[in-house]
Amino acid sequence: MRPIQSTRRQFLQAVGATAAALNLPSVHADGAPDAIVIDPKPRFALSPYLYMQFMEPLGTTDGSVAAAWDFGRDCWREDVIDVTRRLAPSMMRWGGCFSSYYRWKEAVGPRDKRIPMLNMCWGGLDTNQIGTVEFVDFCRQVEAEPLMCVNFESDGRAYWQKDPKGGSRMAGPEEAAAWVRYCNDPDDRLRRSHGTVRPCPIRMWQIGNETSYDRNGYDCETAAKRTIAFAKAMRQADPNLTLIGWGDSGWAKRMLDIAGEHLQYIAFHHMFNPDQGQADSPLRDTEYRKDPARTWEHLMNACKTHEARIRWMREQVGDDPTPLALTECHFALPGRNRCEVLSSWAAGVSNARLLNVHERHGDRLKIATLADFCGTRWQVNAIMIPVPGGQSFMMPVARVMSLYRHHSGDEAVDVTRTPDGLDITASRRADKLFLHVVNTNRRRSVATQIAIAGMQIASGRVFELTGDPEHEIIRAEPNGVVLSEKALPQDGRWSFPAASVSAVELDVRTA
């Protein structure tokens, strides 16, 4: 809160007292900026899994997983591995709608014996050349923890229990438990018979995917009881699993009442259009190009819709301590997620605000993402894969996720004062503080001074992503979004450029 300015003298006295308390040079009234003030006392632990990526074979809808695979050499494309290492996801999830008809045994073992799968949701035929072993190998190469989503009896949906040719696509607890053994048991006979002697350890598993989204599937009571059956069977195969149950659409409280003792997380999804129902929304088709200022305003306000969704989930869970897992999340704009505004740097800045929302709710939100992982045409992808050749590159959402991932603490701290136009979160690791700063002004920089209550800045670095909000990232190079690293003056004064996303690292000491 700013000091009450009844007179110029009172104003100067108030500002001078604040500066002294924070060990800062006195701030004068002649155009001096408001300070960013940080309370360095740790508030709650921040999970590294707030930077998850979601990988699902999307059939004919998007090249997705198949585009990332080199079928000639039977390995992942090197450019995809390289760009993913820079993205540095903390976790990779294998699953989605296709989990409801996925039979994992069809995608393991000798390649010439694998059984192709009709992709009943996304269209086309998946070769199953990429399966469990390949997915875990990808996670190992990019140093991400794997998260697997099981076939939860087709989520109770009859239309996914058989494919168009009459093949059974439903799998129960026994098949899930066998999958756990295949991955985690050092002595699993089937895996070893396939020549994979080393386990493919997967600790985290999700039971149910969007189970509540269709009235033709399981109701909450049935899903909760079947969740218990799956959890018991899977833990017989490995008692050390971490399990995620489905709790969206108002299911969370009842799911936890019935099955909560078997679950470590409760999942929900949020694929959203912040302008839902607005016929004149600029966030559709190519309308966003007609009035960039209005488009910017709508994108900057998207965080309100997202935060309302998370708050609603918190209310659903109530006092239950089970943490939330946002295992799918991204913008879903008209054009089936193809809307090209998502390739613009304005969308990158908007996604940074969504990441700040995740951090603010990090006391309960422990797993989260903001993108589908990779593909060839959907703009919601973190990584775009040029085909048939070319270098894979990060979309705007991935640029900000990578920046935050590389410059974050493990405990949240309070930002007690924020200048107008800046969206700021802060975290700490030992004697290092991290600020994530979004300048929500499209054309105006914000000059300020960073101050830490009771501490001094020993040194600091600012890692800045800047670009024209209208710039669209459509190929790897040339690139109109620039990442720079600069030294922060010891007095903490800094000007954050318009439409920028910055990570500030501060080495601090007690005053």
For residue 2, the model assigns a pLDDT of 34
Do 308 and 237 share a domain, yes or no? Answer: yes
Do 75 and 224 share a domain, yes or no? Answer: yes
Question: CB of 304 within 8 A of CB of 357?
Answer: no
What whole-number distance in Å separates Cα of residue 452 and Cα of residue 418? 13
Do 134 and 201 share a domain, yes or no? Answer: yes
CATH of the domain at 470: 2.60.40.1180
Residue 200 lies in a domain: yes
Residue 5 lies in a domain: no
Average of per-residue pLDDT values in the chain: 92
Do 492 and 361 share a domain, yes or no? Answer: no
Secondary structure in 3-state letters for 440-487: CCCCCCEEEEEEECCEEEEEEEEEEEECCCCCECCCCCCCCCEEEEEE
Do 368 and 471 share a domain, yes or no? Answer: no
Do 34 and 57 share a domain, yes or no? Answer: no
Task: Report the percent of the chain where pLDDT is more than 90.
Answer: 89
Do 40 and 52 share a domain, yes or no? Answer: no
Residue 1 lies in a domain: no
Domain range for 439 is 10-45+411-510
| pLDDT tens sequence across 126-167 | 999 999 999 999 999 999 999 999 999 999 999 999 999 999
Q: Where are the alpha helices (DSSP H) in 282-395?
A: 292-300, 302-317, 345-360
Q: Given pLDDT bands bounded at 50, 70 and 90, which one contains residue 33?
A: low
Do 185 and 208 share a domain, yes or no? Answer: yes
Torsion-angle region of residue 20: left (phi > 0), alpha (psi -120 to 50) or beta? Answer: alpha
| pLDDT tens sequence across 43-69 | 999 999 999 999 999 999 999 999 999
Split into its structural domains, the chain has a count of 2
Do 384 and 490 share a domain, yes or no? Answer: no
Q: What is the DSSP string of 38-73?
A: EEEEEEEEPPGGGGEEEE---TTT--HHHHTEETTT
Among 373, 391, 406, identify where a domain stops.
406
| pLDDT tens sequence across 84-113 | 999 999 999 999 999 999 999 999 999 999
Q: Given pLDDT bands bounded at 50, 70 and 90, which one contains residue 335?
A: confident
Task: Report the percent of the chain where pLDDT is more than 70.
Answer: 93
Do 259 and 297 share a domain, yes or no? Answer: yes
Among 406, 424, 440, identify where a domain stops.
406
Mean pLDDT within 181-199:
98
Query: Backbone phi, then psi, for 286, in 5-degree steps?
Result: -110, 20
Name the residue with tokens 């001074």: 449
Do 287 and 301 share a domain, yes or no? Answer: yes
Query: Backbone phi, then psi, for 219, in 5-degree steps?
Result: -85, 175
Burial class from Cβ neighbours inside 10 Å (0-12, 13-18, 19+) for residue 175 reads: middle
Do 271 and 399 share a domain, yes or no? Answer: yes
Among 406, 428, 463, identify where a domain stops.
406
CATH of the domain at 300: 3.20.20.80
Q: Given pLDDT bands bounded at 50, 70 and 90, which one contains residue 25?
A: very low
333, two tokens: 């704009």
Residue 166 lies in a domain: yes
CA nearest neighbour of 382 among 390, 372, 392 = 372
Residue 4 lies in a domain: no
Residue 2 lies in a domain: no
Residue 459 lies in a domain: yes
Report in angstroms the alpha-carbon separations of 287 from 279, 284, 292, 305: 11, 6, 9, 21
Residues facing residue 493 across a β-bridge:
449
CA nearest neighbour of 343 among 276, 393, 298 = 393
**Does the predicted TM-score (pTM) go above 0.85?**
yes
Residue 225 lies in a domain: yes
Please, which residues have CB within 8 angstroms of residue 289's CB and are 6 or more apart in sequence? 295, 470
